Amino acid sequence: MIPFLHSFPRRVVVFNPTGRYAAAQVASMKEAGTVPVAGITLGRGGGEMEGMPLLDDLRDLDEPADAAVIYTPPEGVLDAVRACAAARIASIVVAAEYVPLHDSLRAAQAARAAGCWMVGPNTLGLCIPDQGLLGSIAPSFCTPGRVAVLCRSGTLTLTMARLLTAAGVGQRAVMHIGGDAVCGRNPHEYVEALTADPGVDAILYCGEIGGDKEYALAERLPACRKPVVTMLVGRHAPAEKRMGHAGALVGGERETAAAKLAALKAAGAHTARDPAEAIGILKRLVG
């Protein structure tokens, strides 16, 4: 179960909310209806930021939180996630890019061991249209519906939400799982959970070159009870050249878009070459 889909968080805390980027995202979350109950920032406890109380430590909360959005610099992510895991915060969104690989592995392990759902690192977060926002996906790009959107690329997440809305295809949720090589939860875990969601009629997965996450997804697709549309970016990327961010690097033929799309298609996914084709398939599936 994906906790923020089952019940959208109402007690959200933000780690390091006072930086320029984080402050702008906190303002956007408030506009979307997600009002953080506190900011966690060492040395600023007892103060406030635009009416939001600031605390030195997560343990200073008067009531438990049900979600955390982490804008801590890369080197502080592991400690922040471990603190959230210790507090059993169900949903953890990690925005930071360039988190050291081993820190990402340990953070993902800590969150998973505590039963928490970690999104990211290197994520724009998620938007549940008309319910709330955790992160920086523009709510104006989204509209309520029954298609779950799941992307590896942040830019593509925003693009697909906007194009789907323009085409009249509403979204159950728009989620950027993170662009780094390691992410808190992998695509197949999202898809498995989404197939059990009664609010989802179809799933759009937008992957990319590099890594093997799409193969794990392909292995589980035969058991998926809802249609999955897949699109892979980077079809023309040169081998062994990083494209965009850490997760997008073709190390061999198996990691190319063509090879991954072939595996997904053989497993039963609907495959698309570009956004227009993906939207066309979804419109046929969900009307």
| Active site amino acids | 245
For residue 71, which amino acid is it?
Answer: Y
**The two structure tokens encoding residue 196:** 């059990």
User: Residue for token digits 């799982």?
Assistant: 177
How far, in Å, are 74, 181, 214 from residue 253 at the CA level? 31, 18, 14
Q: Is 160 helix (H, G, I), strand (E, B) or coil?
A: helix
With contact defined as beta carbons under 8 Å apart, do 119 and 177 qualify? Answer: yes
Residue by residue, DSSP assigns 207-266 as EESSSSHHHHHHHHGGG-SS-EEEEEE-TTPPTT---SSTT----SGGGSHHHHHHHHHH
Contacts of 112 (CB under 8 A, 6+ apart): 118, 184, 185
Q: Is 119 helix (H, G, I), strand (E, B) or coil?
A: strand
CA dihedral 236, 214, 282, 169 (to 10 degrees): -90
User: Residue for token digits 């059990």?
Assistant: 196
Q: Give the length of the chain.
A: 287
With contact defined as beta carbons under 8 Å apart, do 282 and 202 qualify? Answer: yes
User: Residue for token digits 């690097």?
Assistant: 249
